[in-house]
């Protein structure tokens, strides 16, 4: 029977061999954390390698994602669909073992990690989702949602500011089934983080005290190479149910390497053939590269245990279904990510009601109205705001705090944590069973940008809501007035950005974001009131295409005005003025350039025919991205400078967002 150390050494061998073959990667963390990982995966982790999507599995997140060979080794050894050939292709094109773990590439990888701090933050989202789903579905004697979230993290994760945001919130929320294991090895790429000699160091935090201050249960100074000590610490953490736990494991990076362990040399580079040979001898691993003895492979294999765990849960769920058939069906629908059967009919009926009301309201208010319309249809809708609920208008009549007794709510008070909120939402989306949305001012999407990029990279349907979308913010001035944000959000691959012009477009934008399965959406709303635009049913149906003809001319257009959001009103009024002068003007509303670009060429040509080269684009933001529509014969009425502090109406006049200026620009191209 192999010893625990033998089992851990399998991780070390695979990790150093894969990094060496690729001549690229990070062997130090997998070798240093191997003993911890062996205990967690073999003694505690509830999972089934043959069904990585089993709903009640524990979630494991490697926040220090540069140590990716740790999770690849674990997945291979445990019996997931990750054959040894894939480990041999570590970091190679189209392999299932990319340099950092990537969601969707490898069975068993729960989230993409690499940008440090986001894994632990995703983990907070996973843990929050587990507790909330349990609150909504569990019934006395029927705990069908009952699993832990485990995350490994290193010094780098704890240095990143996002970890402060997320861990502070996790402590406030008392997420008792979140267990973080901190790899305290004192090494980063630049050397010893606590310093040595004349070097002071750059990470001198008292981490246990920091987490105690957050309200976490802290287990300090655990020997990360002592399996029994690690096991005892995890057992202790699992017993604490009213707060998250962090286990501070002291480890030696690159453990086993005679000449490089404990040094930055093994952090981000292959050990070298000679050092690997010496390591094999030192740890007692006489096997060839990528060779795992049968007894060790058998001891690691988790398929039989996993199948038994899932079968036990299936029996439990069958009893739950017998007692609560409607809840069981709803649980299955939500965890499958399917919308209710009546969603399409009821959401379209709501949009028709909005159109009939023809209200002149701010699109942020239209967004709230839409939430009141859609919220009762979607129990999976889970919202939040970064301390701006009263301004973002993300609260609707059915909202309940997720932290209230019973933990069955649907709204998160994130506090001033834009980055943390966004990455937590990604974790909620990845967990399954929810459609998360969260909001702040558009300007502060900058704080959250990398989490938005990660959502797009992972192709997950997180919904990011941003209000106060332009200089229309007014008196708060240029620190709060977004200029370049909408344009740069549109540039993120696989991100759908919507800037609606009225209540109808706002409702359609929400519907499109809710229905999307293959990527995130960004909804951008105004502070100021926007007038209703009259439309036919065909035009309403065309909104979801991202761009459509809102107001057409008699005959072939002399010019086309393209606009979004609050500037649509200017475009329509300018077209009326020009029509009175005998000009044929088409107005195109383009609430989502991303959705428009996804349409077939024939549709795009029907909206923007190549023969009509006289075009003017109007949007209160930077102009660069609009020239692809304006063309060399066109003009863009935009804003390539920062704003000023003044009432919104004055600012629009100051910067040329007037009917007269739009008319003048159209006449200039005719």
**DSSP count for the chain of H helices, then E strands:** 27, 20
Sign of torsion, CA 209 210 216 219?
Answer: negative
In sequence order, what E strands does 276-380 have? 361-362
- The CA distance from 391 to 469, in Å, is 12
- What is the rounded CA–CA span in Å between residue 202 and residue 196? 11
Round to whole Å and give the CA distance between 87 and 44. 25
Neighbours of 264 (CB within 10 A): 19
Count other Cβ atoms within 10 Å, centred on residue 208: 17
Catalytic residue check, 418: yes
What's the sign of the alpha-carbon dihedral 656, 661, 665, 668? negative
Residues 371-385, mean pLDDT to the nearest whole number: 98
Looking at residues 62-86, what average pLDDT do you find? 98
The number of angstroms, rounded, from the C-alpha of 251 to the middle of its chain's C-alpha atoms is: 31
Q: What is the mean pLDDT of the chain?
A: 98
Q: What burial class does residue 404 get, using C-beta atoms within 10 Å of its C-beta: 0-12 exposed, 13-18 middle, 19+ buried?
A: exposed
Please report where in the chains the tokens 């959705």 appear, as a residue.
595
> Measuring CA to CA, which residue among 399, 375, 418, 427 is closest to residue 175?
427
Residue 74: Cβ-neighbour burial (10 angstroms; 0-12, 13-18, 19+)? buried
483 within 8 A of 622, measured Cβ to Cβ: yes
Q: Give the whole-angstrom CA distance, residue 637 versus residue 201.
A: 51
- Burial annotation 449-482 (CB, 10 A radius, 16+ → b, else e): bebbbbbbbbebbbbbbbbbbbbbbbeeeeebbb
Terminal CA-CA length for the chain: 85
Q: Average pLDDT, stretch 574-583?
A: 97
Percent of the chain residues topping a pLDDT of 70 = 100
Q: Which of 169, 166, 123, 127 is nearest to 145 (CA)?
A: 127
Three-state secondary structure call for residue 423: helix
Helical residues (DSSP H) of 51-117, grouped into ranges: 68-78, 84-88
What count of other Cβ atoms lies within 10 Å of the Cβ of residue 254? 31
Backbone region of residue 566 per phi and psi (left: phi > 0; alpha: psi in -120 to 50; beta: other values)? alpha
Report which DSSP code applies to 196. Answer: B
Q: What's the pLDDT band for 304 if we cut at 50, 70, 90?
A: very high
Q: 345 CB contacts (<8 Å, ≥6 apart)?
A: none
pLDDT (0 to 100) of residue 197: 87
Residue closest to 117 by CA, chosen among 158, 152, 149, 151? 158
**pLDDT at residue 290 is higher than 90:** yes
* 585 closest CA partner among 606, 610, 616: 616
- 3-class DSSP state of 616: strand
Q: Inform me whether the pLDDT recorded for 634 exceeds 90.
A: yes
Q: Which ranges constitute the DSSP H helices of 358-444? A: 363-374, 389-392, 418-431
pLDDT tens, position by position, 399-414? 999 999 999 999 999 9
β-pairing, 548-551 with 585-589?
A: antiparallel
Catalytic residue among 418, 505, 567, 569, which?
Answer: 418
- Tokens for 259, please give them: 């000449």
- Report how far residue 11's alpha carbon sits from residue 227's, in angstroms, rounded to the nearest whole number: 15
Q: Compute the distance between CA of residue 189 and CA of residue 156 in angstroms, rounded to an integer.
A: 10
What does 116-173 look like in DSSP terms, one character per residue?
TTHHHHHHHHHHHHHHHHHHHH-BTTB------EEEEEEHHHHHSHHHHHHHHHHHHH
H or E segment and range at residue 384: strand 381-385
CA 510 to chain centre: 18
Q: Pairing state of beta strands 559-563 and 585-589?
A: parallel
Render pLDDT for 171-222 as a digit per residue (tens, 0 to 9): 999 999 999 999 999 999 999 999 988 889 999 999 999 999 999 999 999 9
CA angle 318, 322, 325 (to 5 degrees): 105
Name which of 29, 22, 61 is nearest 454 in CA terms.
Answer: 61
* Beta-strand pair 217-223/496-498: unpaired
């Amino acid at each position: 029977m192999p010893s625990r150390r033998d089992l851990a050494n399998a991780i070390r061998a695979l990790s150093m061999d894969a990094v060496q073959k690729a001549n690229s990667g990070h062997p130090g963390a997998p070798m240093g954390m191997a003993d911890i990982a062996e205990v967690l995966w073999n003694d505690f982790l509830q999972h089934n390698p043959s069904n990585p999507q089993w709903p009640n599995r524990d979630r494991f997140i490697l926040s220090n994602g540069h140590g990716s060979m740790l999770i690849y080794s674990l997945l291979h050894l445990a019996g997931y669909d990750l054959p040894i050939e894939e480990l041999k292709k570590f970091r190679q094109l189209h392999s299932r073992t990319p340099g950092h773990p990537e969601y969707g590439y490898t069975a068993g990888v729960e989230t993409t990690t690499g940008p440090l701090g986001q894994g632990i933050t995703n983990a907070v989202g996973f843990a929050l989702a587990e507790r909330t789903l349990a609150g909504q579905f569990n019934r006395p004697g029927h705990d069908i949602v009952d699993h832990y979230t485990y995350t490994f993290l290193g010094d780098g994760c704890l240095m990143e500011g996002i970890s402060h945001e997320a861990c502070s919130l996790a402590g406030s929320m008392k997420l008792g089934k979140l267990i973080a294991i901190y790899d305290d090895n004192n090494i980063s790429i630049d050397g010893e983080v606590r310093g040595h000699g004349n070097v002071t160091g750059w990470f001198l935090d008292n981490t246990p005290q920091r987490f105690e201050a957050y309200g976490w249960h802290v287990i300090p100074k655990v020997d990360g190479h002592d399996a029994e000590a690690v096991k005892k610490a995890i057992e202790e953490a699992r017993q604490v149910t009213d707060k998250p736990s962090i286990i501070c494991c002291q480890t030696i990076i690159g453990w086993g390497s005679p000449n490089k362990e404990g040094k930055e040399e093994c952090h981000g580079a292959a050990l070298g053939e000679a050092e690997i040979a010496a390591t094999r001898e030192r740890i007692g691993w006489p096997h060839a590269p990528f060779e795992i003895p049968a007894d060790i492979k058998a001891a690691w294999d988790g398929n039989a245990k996993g199948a038994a765990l899932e079968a036990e849960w299936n029996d439990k769920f069958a009893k739950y279904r017998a007692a609560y058939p409607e809840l069981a069906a709803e649980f299955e629908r939500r965890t499958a990510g399917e919308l209710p059967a009546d969603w399409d009919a009821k959401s379209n009926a709501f949009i028709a009601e909005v159109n009939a009301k023809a209200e002149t309201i701010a699109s942020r208010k239209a967004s709230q109205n839409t939430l009141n319309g859609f919220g009762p249809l979607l129990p999976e809708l889970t919202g939040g705001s970064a301390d701006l609920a009263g301004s973002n208008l993300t609260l609707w009549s059915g909202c309940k705090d997720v932290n209230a007794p019973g933990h069955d709510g649907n709204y998160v008070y994130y506090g001033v944590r834009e980055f943390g909120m966004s990455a937590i939402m990604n974790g909620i989306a990845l967990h399954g069973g929810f459609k998360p949305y969260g909001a702040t001012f558009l300007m502060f999407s900058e704080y959250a940008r990398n989490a938005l990029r990660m959502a797009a990279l992972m192709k997950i349907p997180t919904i990011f809501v941003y209000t106060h979308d332009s200089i229309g913010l007014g008196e708060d001035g240029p620190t709060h007035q977004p200029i370049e944000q909408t344009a740069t959000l549109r540039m993120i691959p696989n991100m759908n950005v919507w800037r609606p012009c009225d209540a109808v477009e706002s409702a359609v934008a929400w519907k499109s974001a809710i229905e999307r399965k293959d990527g995130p959406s960004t909804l951008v709303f105004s502070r100021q009131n926007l007038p209703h635009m009259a439309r036919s049913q065909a035009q309403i149906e065309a909104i979801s295409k991202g761009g459509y003809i809102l107001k057409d001319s008699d005959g072939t257009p002399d010019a086309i005005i393209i606009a979004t959001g609050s500037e649509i009103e200017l475009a329509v009024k300018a077209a009326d003025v020009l029509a009175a002068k005998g000009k044929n003007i088409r107005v195109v509303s383009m609430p989502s350039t991303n959705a428009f670009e996804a349409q077939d060429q024939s549709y795009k040509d029907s909206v923007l025919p190549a023969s009509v080269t006289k075009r003017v684009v109007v949007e209160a933001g930077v102009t660069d991205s609009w020239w692809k529509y304006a063309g060399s014969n066109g003009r863009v009425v935009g804003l390539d400078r920062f704003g000023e502090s003044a009432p919104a109406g004055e600012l629009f006049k100051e910067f040329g967002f007037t009917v007269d200026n739009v008319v003048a620009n159209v006449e200039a191209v005719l």
